[in-house]
Structure 1
Amino acid sequence: MTAPKNPPRVLALSARDPGALAELRENLAVWLEHTPDADLDGVALTLATGRERFACRDAVVGTSPVELALLLREKKAAEPTPARAPGDGPLLLLDGTPLTGAPVDLPEVAEALRLAAEYGDTDAARTVAVQYGLAQWLRTRLVTPRAVHGTGVGAVAAAAVRAEHSLADALRTAAGPPETTETESGPFAVDADAPAGTDAVPAVPVVRIGASGPLGLDPADPHSPATLLARLWCLGYDVDTTLGRPGRRVRLPGHPFRRRGPGGPAAVGAGPYRPLTPYEQRWLFYDLVRHGSSGDHNAAVAGVRAGEPPAPEVLREAFAELQRRHPALRTVFGEPGGRWQARILPDAAARPVLLVDDPDGGPEELRQAVLKAARQPMRLRDEPLVRCCLRGGPAHWALALAVYEPLTTTADPRQLLDELTALLGAVTRPPQAQPA
């Protein structure tokens, strides 16, 4: 399928509160009306990069400045979106419905289809190739799924997406006799725990690849990829809404600035703030401007242990105790009165991230997985600046600890990880028998 002459773009917005978001939408709509020849790829790039991301979000999808301006004025104020922690991505459900018609023009889809032609260009093989390509395209747009399931022939593609088999093996299976992909005892059996598709937004959103709807990715609809990314952005996911299209930054209306009075924005019981040190200012302001770069500045370490992983409640207790012992791990950055400052929370706020167990993961695979999760970007406003990630395997388990770089002047991540590991042993150790 050839690319449309005027492809859709996603304009993703965010602000501190619904009022500021409404003002930002109006300002951008006016700018688009007065700039009918605007480079929409540059507008999308400017909105997606170089600006701090806030909790109140909105996004519009259109093909021209006039259309986008109208959509911006139709939108209503949005309520703040809950933070999405690393590993809390949506579920991907690959529909087993055979592909009909030409698929959307995406590089990952085209490459998978090229490979499918080598193994027999059947409807089933093409369906597997397209669904695999769409799932990989989502990952390049920073959509990291919590889990991937499939139904029917979609289970073949899902197994390849999960890296349980290669795409070539999946295409061979799909191109073979029909019973190869339908047997429950075969390597590509239909997922027994695949969630039912729904257009509603559950606690964990389900993205259906091969279907239309707000959380569907229809391979025959060229607008569907943009619409899905816009929806995920509004749900709190920091996805790449540029769609991978090149552009140059343009000068757009800035965020509405509203100086807040002292005491207004601070949460009840927030405690006293202190000025940021020059070292903290340097890293924080850099990551606020280059949003998403905080992941590059998470000082992360990991260790692997043999045996069964600790129980979730044991890890929560040990991680909370580590935070109680080290005030630096309870430090958060906020913006009371319009100025960034730091404060120490009275209680432990960070919770461990429990990754899905890998039944085939070796020690190095487990270590790399927890390090990758620990290095995900942090939400820098009034959120914990420390992260703990655990993943279990068949014979080992891996634990990672990440601390935001500005806090490492008083908190050494390696020493903290050793202390956390020792605390896990203390929590799990059975009580000593009292002498008679």
Structure 2
Amino acid sequence: MADSLIRPASLADLPRVVALSARDPEALAALRRRLADRLEHEPGTAPDDLSRTLHTGRERFPCRDAVIGTDTAELALLLRESDGENTPPVREPGAGPVLVLDGSPAPASVPDLPEITDALRRAEDACRDGADDTAARAAAVQYGVVAWLLARGVTPHAVHGHGAGAWAAAAARGELPLPAALRAAAENATPPAGAQQPPVGAPADSEPRTTPVVVIGSHPPPTAPESVADVTGCPDPLRLDTADGASYARLLAELWRLGFDVDTTLGREGRRIRLPGHPFRRREPGGAGPADGPTTRALTPFEQRWLFYDLVRHGSSGDHNVTVETVLPGPAPAPADIATAFDEIQRRHPVLRTVFSDPAGRWRARTLPTATVRPTHLTAEPDAGPEQLRVAVRDAARQPLRLRDEPLLRCCVRAGSAHWALSLGLYEPLSATADPRLLLDELRALLGTEAVVPAAPLPEPEPEPA
């Protein structure tokens, strides 16, 4: 059965992604120019080496851009022409994209990616007794795409599906073994209850959703009574056309621009090479950097130790988030009420407004003047029990932080049918002077859930000599 699918596009035929990041828009624009100069003067540079070096040899910064092309000359031209957003991406902390498998039939041609090939082989095995393999192939392709995205560092917030895609989504979530899901799709069985529900409802007016929705399927999408907005809760989702090899590269490039640290090598081998570094802009004598001023201080030894460790090991900061959570009966408070209470917590305790910056290459801590962290409202789960709600908000609070120029605090909420869960996550270096459990009790008190409010604000760390 799988042999009936034509797979002419090999991994080597997919476009290359050149993903860049910098501390600020001016540095990003300069980096694009310097890299374009290098590629024009050294046209023999292998695109795979370029992508590998940028992915493994560079620190991630908030201002981002990405271009995709087939060869070095095209990539250099695109770098010249790109203006990018040049603004730091905005997304909810810890929230990955929502993947929606639209259940469209398997296309006649798909890229020869190992995850898709393996899933198609399993679909063939599931249909050896003559079962209709049309739906099984559709589910196999969509499951294979999800597996490939996972291997590229895409950690979805949720995976949902429709039709055959519902079975692929159930397998991707680990609720069913893949062979059982493919067999059920071949037998045209009814998907499990809730599997075809829209993944995300429209956000409350006070809580705009920044989590992207990615619809996976063949293009054009199958005719359905629901519009894309009805199905996804998002009027303009990202799309991955399973038949178009360039679509895979475009999606990873877009997720990178949005702030997700995905593997933009697309799984191709390459070697590390020397590339132009980030431009160094010396401040004018007497000039002040963005983090200089009376609200800055030197890092404590405890802060230095964990910060430098996590900067070297990209993505490890989540291992050092101190998290606390609670499950409470009844409906969750309105998002606006939770946001107001969380703003008040940040106002009372300046340590919660701490960010780490490195003006002129020297790390300092500074205190933001106002609260900037908003609560993250996870997708409501009416069927989830108290323990499931607790685990969900705990795991969300443990997601890695950016560490540079962004707050080191997180608040996550998930509503169920009879309970709701609330969690706080704080970067461990700050927990030396801020007890997350006391902070959670204080937040509960502000929300009227009968917790004791600490009598005095939490202490601030003593500044060290510069």
Normalised TM-score (structure 1): 0.81
Task: State the partner residue of 2:108.
Answer: 101
Please give the alpha-carbon distance, in whole angstroms, between the structure 2 residues aligned to 1:189 and 1:360: 12
Residue identity opposite 2:151 in structure 1: T
Q: Report SS of the residue matched to 2:426.
A: strand
Please give the alpha-carbon distance, in whole angstroms, between the structure 2 residues aligned to 1:353 and 1:194: 14
Q: Report SS of the residue matched to 1:239.
A: coil
Task: State the partner residue of 2:409.
Answer: 386
Q: Which moved more, 1:273-282 or 1:303-312?
A: 303-312
2:67 and 2:79 in contact (8 A); partners too: yes
Identity score, percent: 60
Q: Report SS of the residue matched to 1:342.
A: strand
Q: Report SS of the residue matched to 1:82.
A: coil
User: What are the superposed Cα offsets for residues 1-41 of structure 1, whole Å, 9 maximum, x if unpaired?
Assistant: 37344543322001233332232122223333454554544
Residue identity opposite 1:293 in structure 2: S
User: What are the superposed Cα offsets for residues 338-384 of structure 1, whole Å, 9 maximum, x if unpaired?
Assistant: 64322223333222111112233334433332222112222323321
User: What are the superposed Cα offsets for residues 59-83 of structure 1, whole Å, 9 maximum, x if unpaired?
Assistant: 1223433332233223235330432
Residue identity opposite 1:13 in structure 2: L
User: What are the superposed Cα offsets for residues 244-289 of structure 1, whole Å, 9 maximum, x if unpaired?
Assistant: 344443322110111235346369xx86222223332333344344
Q: Cα offset for 1:234? A: 1.8
Task: State the partner residue of 1:173.
Answer: 184
Task: State the partner residue of 1:54.
Answer: 61
Residue identity opposite 1:172 in structure 2: R
Task: State the partner residue of 2:290.
Answer: 265
1:219 to 237, 242, 251: 242
Please list, as runs of the form range in 1=range in 2, the aligned pairs for 1:24-423 lying within 5 A after superposition: 24-86=31-93, 88-120=95-127, 122-162=133-173, 167-177=178-188, 180=189, 187=193, 191=197, 205-211=212-218, 215-261=238-284, 262-263=287-288, 265=290, 272-336=295-359, 339-423=362-446
Task: State the partner residue of 2:229.
Answer: none
**Which segments of 5 or more consecutive residues in structure 1 lack a partner in the other structure?**
196-201, 430-436
User: What are the superposed Cα offsets for residues 306-362 of structure 1, whole Å, 9 maximum, x if unpaired?
Assistant: 544444334333333332333211212234566432222333322211111223333
1:55 and 1:83 in contact (8 A); partners too: no
1:260 and 1:338 in contact (8 A); partners too: no
Please give the alpha-carbon distance, in whole angstroms, between the structure 1 residues aligned to 2:351 and 2:28: 33
- With over 3 angstroms needed to count, the CA separation of the structure-2 counterparts of 1:372 and 1:204, relative to structure 1, is closer
Q: How many residues align?
A: 417
**Which segments of 5 or more consecutive residues in structure 2 lack a partner in the other structure?**
1-6, 202-208, 221-236, 453-466
Please give the alpha-carbon distance, in whole angstroms, between the structure 2 residues aligned to 1:328 and 1:50: 32
Q: Report SS of the residue matched to 1:223.
A: helix
Please give the alpha-carbon distance, in whole angstroms, between the structure 2 residues aligned to 1:43 and 1:301: 42
2:91 and 2:211 in contact (8 A); partners too: no
Please give the alpha-carbon distance, in whole angstroms, between the structure 2 residues aligned to 1:321 and 1:146: 28
2:299 and 2:365 in contact (8 A); partners too: yes
Please give the alpha-carbon distance, in whole angstroms, between the structure 2 residues aligned to 1:116 and 1:79: 44
Normalised TM-score (structure 2): 0.77
1:131 and 1:209 in contact (8 A); partners too: yes
Please give the alpha-carbon distance, in whole angstroms, between the structure 1 residues aligned to 2:67 and 2:276: 17
Q: Cα offset for 1:194? A: 8.3
Q: Cα offset for 1:159? A: 4.6
Please give the alpha-carbon distance, in whole angstroms, between the structure 1 residues aligned to 2:11 and 2:376: 41
Q: Cα offset for 1:209? A: 0.9
Q: Cα offset for 1:136? A: 3.0
Residue identity opposite 1:173 in structure 2: A
Please give the alpha-carbon distance, in whole angstroms, between the structure 2 residues aligned to 1:189 and 1:350: 32
Q: Report SS of the residue matched to 2:245.
A: coil
Q: Report SS of the residue matched to 2:352.
A: helix
Please give the alpha-carbon distance, in whole angstroms, between the structure 2 residues aligned to 1:412 and 1:44: 42
2:68 and 2:249 in contact (8 A); partners too: yes
Residue identity opposite 2:117 in structure 1: A
- With over 3 angstroms needed to count, the CA separation of the structure-2 counterparts of 1:58 and 1:212, relative to structure 1, is farther
- With over 3 angstroms needed to count, the CA separation of the structure-2 counterparts of 1:365 and 1:166, relative to structure 1, is farther
Q: Cα offset for 1:175? A: 0.8
Q: Report SS of the residue matched to 1:54.
A: coil
Task: State the partner residue of 1:434.
Answer: none
Task: State the partner residue of 1:17.
Answer: 24
Residue identity opposite 1:281 in structure 2: Q
Residue identity opposite 2:436 in structure 1: P
